[in-house]
Structure 1
């Protein structure tokens, strides 16, 4: 199962294709506007894959694709779905690092098969990278991944270590504030949300899950591989 962001402004196409994705076992979040999709990406929604129409209101599918690469790098597979089948549009999609390109009218079955193929590629890559693991230097307050310094601030390092040391445990924002900051430091929930957003940008995978109405938890490695 995967969580899929589906950007499509045509009602019938959105309803039919999203239903096929759900029947195939996936969770689907639909958007009609590109700016709405970008907001979800920037808020850190844990998508595994995105299917993006190119010509939609608010912002183009290419704009959303660029936002995905900026926020999540190669963690999210991307399939462009469009009525434009000219070579220049296809080249533009691949130049922006899309994983696949499907022209309308799209066969629902073919779309599902393309989704499965992209998920296999992205998950193999992710599993290979995950197996190399983190190196945490507690003395220097630094974290490395694949020998690369993640360049965390002190607050980000302590936040990351607090969550990572208790995988699966849900921490409230208040708990994180008390564990990370000095007792005399006055902070509100938004400071934790801001640190989480910045930390997610620096981590190589979607390790941090938002538990709505409660706080955050660090995903176990077997959850990330699913």
Structure 2
């Protein structure tokens, strides 16, 4: 399932940082710098919203009220530069799932987002693709009852492609998702990784896109 996140933060640098961290977790992020700019997508299907309280014009509280009118169960995280009990209590009373005060670690925010998504949209613990079973709890993959010997990066590549069936990935995108910032060198390591995964899981339907990257299908 593709998780769609709405982000409203008027500080451009912080907006960009939060968006980047969330996208590294393969979330689809729709970022805005004001409540008014959300109007075109306010009724679209978002799984969670992250709202700054102190926005220019309409406040985060006001935007949250509008979102809750559309979907009372929609999870919302409020962020604010004012570390005040009043804001936190008011936000939680209005139905926010969580509240975080600035300054905060983007990693902490990502963890809070993950916990809320797991709680509100808990998916199956396993996935099936081409007859292989992926156990997301243990990070193990089985061919019927036989445990496959996948490296951590082979597993991460499999899950990345599985969670984005039909979406083409460039080699650079795969590098950024699998190696993150720990690798400097040729993107051909992606081809080597995909070759090893295909050898261990030959029934996977992975298309090589010439001079671009790869796409997994579920046929």
- Inter-partner Cα distance in structure 2 for 1:88 and 1:9: 22
- Inter-partner Cα distance in structure 2 for 1:93 and 1:101: 7
Deviation at 1:38, TM superposition (A): 4.3
Q: Does residue 1:50 correspond to 2:49, yes or no?
A: yes
- Inter-partner Cα distance in structure 2 for 1:87 and 1:19: 29
Higher helix share: 1
Deviation at 1:58, TM superposition (A): 2.6
Residue-pair matches, total:
123
User: TM-score, normalization: structure 1?
Assistant: 0.52
Q: Does residue 1:3 correspond to 2:4, yes or no?
A: yes
Alignment of 1:171-190 (within 5 A): none
Deviation at 1:123, TM superposition (A): 1.5
User: Residue 78 of structure 2 aligns to a residue in which SS?
Assistant: strand
- Inter-partner Cα distance in structure 2 for 1:37 and 1:65: 11
Q: Does residue 1:91 correspond to 2:89, yes or no?
A: yes
- Inter-partner Cα distance in structure 2 for 1:56 and 1:23: 26
Aligned to 1:65: 64
1:42-73 Cα deviation digits (max 9, x unpaired): xx211100000001113111111111110012
Asked if the contact 1:5–1:28 (Cα under 8 Å) also holds between the matched residues in 2, the reply is yes
Aligned to 1:25: 26
User: Residue 58 of structure 2 aligns to a residue in which SS?
Assistant: coil
- Inter-partner Cα distance in structure 2 for 1:39 and 1:99: 24
- Inter-partner Cα distance in structure 1 for 2:62 and 2:15: 19
- Inter-partner Cα distance in structure 2 for 1:58 and 1:24: 31
Deviation at 1:36, TM superposition (A): 1.9
Structure 1 unmatched runs, 5+: 128-226
Structure 2 unmatched runs, 5+: 125-219
Asked if the contact 1:3–1:49 (Cα under 8 Å) also holds between the matched residues in 2, the reply is yes
Deviation at 1:39, TM superposition (A): 4.3
Picking from 109, 117, 120, the partner of 2:118 is: 120
User: TM-score, normalization: structure 2?
Assistant: 0.53
